[in-house]
Amino acid sequence: MARIVVHEAKKPMEIKVGNESKWICMCGLSNNKPFCDGSHKQAQDEIEGKLYRYENGKGVVVKRLIT
């Protein structure tokens, strides 16, 4: 079985564990899930209304969501 999951977030979510901050990946690109590893920086230049697929650290537009 396969599945495609779409993430729209471009930054992590901070959670507090005691006095310590933990950063949870919300973009789906981290290689250290559930934690952020900074990979969300790849998604900063994404254009609204387009769908991107990431392979080997590069994003490719695969579909226009809004015409």
If binding is defined by CB under 6 A, does position 27 make contact with ligand FES? yes
By the rule CB under 6 A, 66 interacts with ligand FES: no
Q: Residues touching ligand FES: how many (CB under 6 A)?
A: 12
Q: What SS3 class is residue 60? A: strand
Q: Which of 8, 22, 37, 53 binds ligand FES (CB under 6 A)?
A: 37
Among residues 54, 10, 55, 14, the alpha carbon closest in space to that of 34 is found at 14
From 8, 14, 26, 50, residue interacting with ligand FES (rule: CB under 6 A) = 26
